[in-house]
Structure 1
Amino acid sequence: MSIFFACLISTPAIAWNPFSSEEFTDVPLSKLELQKVKINAGWARDDDQTLIFELSNGLKGPIQCGAANVELNTGKSVSKVFVPKFAIPGQATRNASMPVVKGTMKSYALTCSCFKKKGSEDCVNPLAR
């Protein structure tokens, strides 16, 4: 039984489902794909402690974002890892947040990716049939 688990651990990360005949790879979004994802960031009127990101996915396929990084005016940075990654379906908008005091942010960045079939350039849902 332990050999079975050892095989699972050594399975390449690109294999989404060991019972599937197709291989999927989780890849960072390309420059062209990033141009189709609109990101707004700001604070709600009644909360100056929580930075809210609004992501609009203009791609046909879904994407997922796993982390956010904010550079503060002081030169320090604040990071948040989203576990699990939050998904944004194609042509949809989703929100995420992290603790950042209003007025202290210099810049921000999000780390997003999507699944692609081997040999394809389109983002796809690996769970769709």
Structure 2
Amino acid sequence: MMGRGHGVMVKLFVCSVCICMCNTVWAMGWFSKEPALKQTELSPAELKQLNIRSGWSNDDPGLMLFEIGNQLSGPIFCVGASFEFKDGKKRNQSFDPKLYIPSKAVRKTAVRGIEKKDVKTFGFSCLCMKASPEGPCENAFR
């Protein structure tokens, strides 16, 4: 036979679970007053703030190497590069995995099948997290 003590223990347990769940929801930021960050493509002015160096491997003339320095206020991730060739053809090459570059950091990547003699121009497609499209790049993990 269960007495009054059992009912009190059940109520205490249910109350504890509810408190833990509320704290978890609060910690997740669901009730945060800060605007949600959204994935936004870098503007041309922001792309100019990246320090992109390129070259070719001495061992493989079809391997184009890149070194990207991020001088922006928050981390970025580059999703791919686009190439225009001297014969007028174009090629988009995605990075898999995406190239994550923290603020004030440098990362390296390479694209195979791009020969120096064929390339006219290239560009990068990079994104970052922003509260507004005009705002600065922000760190989503802070």
**TM-score (normalised: structure 1):** 0.75
Q: Which has the larger radius of gyration?
A: 2
Partner of 1:110: 124
Q: Residue 75 of structure 1 corresponds to which residue in structure 2?
A: 88
- What is residue 110 of structure 2 aligned with on the other side? 97
Distance 1:101 1:31, change over 3 A: closer
Corresponding position of 2:17: none
- Give the SS at the match of 1:74: coil
Residue 103 of structure 1 aligns to a residue whose secondary structure is coil
Indicate the SS of the match to 2:64.
strand
Q: Distance in 2 between matches of 1:93 and 1:35?
A: 15
Partner of 1:13: none
Superposed displacement of residue 87, structure 1: 0.7
> Counterpart of 2:42?
29
Greater share of residues in helix? 2
Q: What are the ranges of 5 or more consecutive residues in structure 1 without an aligned counterpart?
A: 1-18
- Displacement, 1:88? 0.5
Q: Which amino acid aligns with 2:51?
A: K
How many residue pairs get aligned? The number is 110
User: Sequence identity, in percent?
Assistant: 32
Q: CA deviation at 1:40?
A: 1.3
Task: For 1:58, give the aligned amino acid.
Answer: Q
For 2:45 and 2:123, locate their aligned partners in 1 and report how far apart those are by CA, in whole Å.
Answer: 17
Residue from 53, 57, 72 that aligns with 2:70:
57
Unaligned residue ranges in structure 2 (runs of 5+): 1-27
Counterpart of 2:22 in structure 1 is none
SS in 2 for 1:33: helix
* Alpha-carbon distance, 1:120 to partner: 7.3
1:102-122 Cα deviation digits (max 9, x unpaired):
211000011011101258712
- Secondary structure of 1:38's counterpart equals strand
Give the CA RMSD over aligned residues: 1.9
- Letter aligned with residue 81 of structure 1: S
- Distance in 2 between the 1:49 and 1:26 partners? 32
Q: Return the letter of the residue paired with 1:32.
A: A
Alpha-carbon distance in structure 2 between the residues aligned to 1:42 and 1:71: 16
